[in-house]
Amino acid sequence: MLELTEEQRLLRESVGRLAREKIAPRAAEMDASQEFPEDIHRLFVEQGLLKLKIPHAYGGVPADAVTCCLVTEEIARVDGSCSLMLVNHLAGLAPLIAGSTEEQRSRFLPTIVEEGHIVGFALSEPEAGSDAASLQTRARKDGKGYRLTGTKCFITNGGAAKVFVLFATLDPALKKRGITAYLVEEENPGAHIGKKEDKMGMRASPTTELILEDAFVPEEARIGGEGEGWGLLIEGLSETRILIAALSLGLADGATEVAARYTVERSQFGKAISTFQGIQFMLADMLMGIETARSLVYRAARMQDQDHPSVRRYASMAKCYASDMAMRVTTDAVQMMGGYGYMKDYPVERMMRDAKVLQIFEGTNQIQRMIIARDYLAGL
């Protein structure tokens, strides 16, 4: 059983209410229009959700990983895209908070708190996905700064984020040792948003290219030292993977509740379909998957909060297990509802489409399995 503090319990309740009352009624329309939901972004700002993780000194609420998971899960229970808006912002904040100087923190963090600016995370490139260390976006020294050139793809919150934590290389031959992190503001004259993707799921979460054409960033925009970008990236990945796992958990739980309620109301052969053993067995498997994932997700989150040396492996296990589970459970939720589950009148078909990407981004589940096995073998 997950032991929560009074503060965590209250936050979970209030975010759950917000999700049910304000996000759920908009979810189908947001999915259809594929527009970034400005109103939900504003709600998140009003509720202080974008300042989770930011230290008190800059007006934030330095929430731990468990708290961030609770918030993520509550939102995902009704809508994956809105939950992703927050998770990706937290992914961008991680290297910014971990590697920034006092000057950078004072410049960027209060604006995020006051204006509700979203931070984007720009790593992937058309030719560098799983093999992120082979990225080609170049940083060239130019006087008191750098010139950045390259194309980032599949950038969540592209077009909505005001600043991006962007990874570029000083020399591709150096691989990981050449990678450096920079803060690139959306209004930088050399940076612009490229193609917006038309996606299977997470459709209210914009995914775009971010194109850099000789974009100048001053030295003060560099996070950490030259060549320290890879370390910052790895440091932040565990927490983000745990958040993706919490998103998966919420999505699976939400779909299960919708489908289970439907089976009570739907009658065939003169009986509620919930009374059929075939339906009950499916429901039992869904509930067992959710609870197993929940144990792993919150165990990994606690390990993250305790700075446990094995957190990387547990974060990968949580991400991989929970997202595979979410794909299976949302598919079963559609199955339990028969033809009606396949229709857009109910949210489960959207949840099934939203679940798919959870197995792909933040490191595909093949990559997670490699990390898990290699980490275990290295400890033998």
Ligand X SMILES: Cc1cc2nc3c(=O)[nH]c(=O)nc-3n(C[C@H](O)[C@H](O)[C@H](O)COP(=O)(O)OP(=O)(O)OC[C@H]3O[C@@H](n4cnc5c(N)ncnc54)[C@H](O)[C@@H]3O)c2cc1C
Provide the binding-site residues for ligand X, judged by CB under 6 A. 88, 121-124, 129-130, 154-156, 199, 202, 207, 357, 360-364, 366-367
Q: Which of 186, 239, 349, 362 is catalytic?
A: 362
* Identity of the residue, 294 or 313, whose beta carbon is nearer to ligand X in the bound complex: 313
Distance between the two ends of the chain, CA-based, in angstroms? 31
Amino acid sitting at position 60 = G
* Identity of the residue, 94 or 155, whose beta carbon is nearer to ligand X in the bound complex: 155
Determine the residue with CB nearest ligand X. 129
Q: Give least dist CB 357 to ligand X, A.
A: 5
* Identity of the residue, 199 or 222, whose beta carbon is nearer to ligand X in the bound complex: 199
Q: Give least dist CB 106 to ligand X, A.
A: 26
d(CA 243, CA 336): 28
* Identity of the residue, 274 or 364, whose beta carbon is nearer to ligand X in the bound complex: 364
**370, two tokens:** 């490699």
Q: Give least dist CB 329 to ligand X, A.
A: 20
**SS percent in the chain: helix, strand, coil, step 5:** 60, 15, 25
Backbone angles phi, psi at 368, to 5 degrees: -60, -40
Query: Known catalytic residue: 21?
Result: no
Q: Give least dist CB 155 to ligand X, A.
A: 5
Amino acid sitting at position 206 = P
d(CA 278, CA 263): 12
Give kind and range of the element (H or E) at residue 288. Answer: helix 277-305
* Identity of the residue, 88 or 304, whose beta carbon is nearer to ligand X in the bound complex: 88
Token pair 């590697």 is found at: 99
**How many other CB atoms are there within 10 angstroms of residue 138's CB atom?**
18
- Cβ proximity of 355 and 326 under 8 Å: yes
Backbone angles phi, psi at 61, to 5 degrees: -130, 95
Q: Give least dist CB 128 to ligand X, A.
A: 7
**Helix, strand counts (H, E) of the chain:** 12, 10
Contacts 24+ apart (CB under 8 A), 270-275: 273/336
Q: How many residues does the chain have?
A: 380
* Identity of the residue, 207 or 256, whose beta carbon is nearer to ligand X in the bound complex: 207
d(CA 324, CA 162): 32
* Identity of the residue, 263 or 359, whose beta carbon is nearer to ligand X in the bound complex: 359
Give kind and range of the element (H or E) at residue 14. Answer: helix 6-18
Q: What angle do CA 295, 254, 38 make, to 5 degrees?
A: 110
Q: Give least dist CB 363 to ligand X, A.
A: 6
d(CA 139, CA 129): 19
Q: Give least dist CB 93 to ligand X, A.
A: 13
User: Would you name the residues annotated as active-site residues?
Assistant: 362
